[in-house]
Amino acid sequence: MNSFVVENRIWDKEETLSRNEMTALQGAKLRETVERVQNVPFYKEAFSEAGITPEKIQTLDDLHRLPFTTKTDLREQYPLRMLAVDRAEVARYHGSSGTTGTPTMVAYTQNDLKVWANLCARFLTGGGLLPKHSVQIAFGYGLFTGGFGLHYGVERVGASVIPAAAGNTPKQVMLMMDMQVDALVCTPSYALTISEFIIQNDIPHNALNLKYAHFGGEPWTEGMRTRIEDEMGILCFNNYGLSEVIGPGVSGECAVRDGMHISEDAFIVECINPDTLEPVPPGEEGELVFTSLCKEAMPIIRYRTRDIASLNPEPCACGRTTVRMSRVTGRSDDMLIIKGVNVYPSQIEQALLRVEGTAPHYLIEVDRPDRTDVATVKVEMTEESFSSSMKEMQELKDKIDRAIQGITGLRMNIELVSPNSLERFVGKAQRVTDHREKT
């Protein structure tokens, strides 16, 4: 049913280097990066604490001596203390998608923007983009890296962009039909919403000219891929990136669609056991760690993504030799992505603290019964918060609802449950039950 065939095209020669060539290139660029981060007080300190001088880092084998960078480190350096260049050299800023708390800001020089657009052009080409195509971008345009990242990637290929931005589904579909758009870029969950609209309005496939889509911004599953492909009659490609590392463009699928090719000339990837911090063997799941090799404004050393995936170093049938990463199957911290929004259980705790009389015992249940994520927060009743009046009980639920919405930006179902009915934990509490499929 997908009559579209992706031409196997490779954008850059760096995608097909031999392992020896890649190792040498990464070693040389790592030395440059280590030199560059000496401008960042945070790294200068971290290096001296670890007893490392830039001269000690000569080849890729020396990478393990370098300290890790965490999200907490980035928050502490908010807004721009991770900057390695003068502010005058910055061409653009973006930010993390976190809704509350201290966000993290990232910065790009003019050259960083060029490199970034090229990396996006790379995976877009791998996934079918040709200069004659038109691409509708239904990602948010703003601090979020998705919209602008893909926008300039499409332009770099020489294709045309319809910057529809996120939301207004009827208009998205109208544009897709009227403009005879070839490709769609958005989150997989938004694609499900678009697909639902098309089905509900009995719009036949041949009214659209859509051939393929590139999805990113949140984890998704093979089940979702099959569903969207069947419903919309298109091919779907997965891509991966995060603002701390660069944004979209870290990796993406080729026509073979057996893992996402990591642009190793731009990032060194490691896959570690999140507890021991030791590397895991290829094919085994671990936490991905990235070191940037060509970022000027905000280089990053061994960034712990908290994303769980596995690596495949085998060369691909497409001809690329770059290492491939699997889908992200989980997190090594307790962060949840609900409807594309990052949520930590601690935010629910904060919300409950704001509502007088509620207990700190709660459980978050996440499911995707059909197309959209549904989150339910179970809260234990206490004598203080309980009332014999239904109106007051409803007010209590509303208060919890508003507090959670205020902190996470998401509406969740609130369920009041009996005291001591939620499981108690010795040590680390398990606050989340995620029923969504992982792969």
Partner 1 sequence: MKLKQLSVFLENKPGRLRELCAVLAENGINIITLSLADTEQFGILRLIVKKHDQAKELLEKNGFVAKLTDVVAVEVMDEPGGLSSILKIEEESGISVEYMYAFTIKSGEKAVLLFRFDDMDKAVDALQKAGLNILGSVELYQRAEG
Residues that bind partner 1 (CB under 8 A): 381-383, 386-391, 393, 415-421
Q: Which is nearer to partner 1, 159 or 363 (CB)?
A: 363
Q: Which is nearer to partner 1, 179 or 422 (CB)?
A: 422
- For the bound state, the minimum distance from the C-beta of residue 258 to partner 1, rounded and expressed in Å, comes to 45
User: What are residue 333's DSSP bridge partners?
Assistant: none
Length of the chain, please?
A: 439
Q: Which is nearer to partner 1, 220 or 362 (CB)?
A: 362
In angstroms, the CA 378 to CA 431 distance is: 10
Residue 250 burial class via C-beta count within 10 angstroms: exposed 0-12, middle 13-18, buried 19 and up:
buried
Between strands 134-137 and 105-109, the pairing is unpaired
- For the bound state, the minimum distance from the C-beta of residue 433 to partner 1, rounded and expressed in Å, comes to 17
Q: Which is nearer to partner 1, 206 or 388 (CB)?
A: 388
Between strands 374-380 and 362-367, the pairing is antiparallel
- For the bound state, the minimum distance from the C-beta of residue 408 to partner 1, rounded and expressed in Å, comes to 21
Q: Which is nearer to partner 1, 20 or 389 (CB)?
A: 389
- Supply 31's token pair: 């030395």
In angstroms, the CA 266 to CA 263 distance is: 6
Q: Which is nearer to partner 1, 131 or 419 (CB)?
A: 419
- With tokens 């944004």, the residue in question is 247
394 Cα distance to chain centroid: 37
Give 49's contacts (C-beta < 8 A, 6+ positions apart). Answer: 67
Q: Which is nearer to partner 1, 369 or 427 (CB)?
A: 369
- For the bound state, the minimum distance from the C-beta of residue 385 to partner 1, rounded and expressed in Å, comes to 9
- Supply 87's token pair: 């502010």
Residue 364 corresponds to which amino acid? I
- For the bound state, the minimum distance from the C-beta of residue 415 to partner 1, rounded and expressed in Å, comes to 6
CA 351 → CA 356, 401, 405, 407, distances in Å?
10, 9, 9, 7
- For the bound state, the minimum distance from the C-beta of residue 355 to partner 1, rounded and expressed in Å, comes to 16
With both helix axes pointing from N to C terminus, report the angle between 188-200 and 222-232 in degrees, rounded to the nearest 10.
30
- For the bound state, the minimum distance from the C-beta of residue 351 to partner 1, rounded and expressed in Å, comes to 19
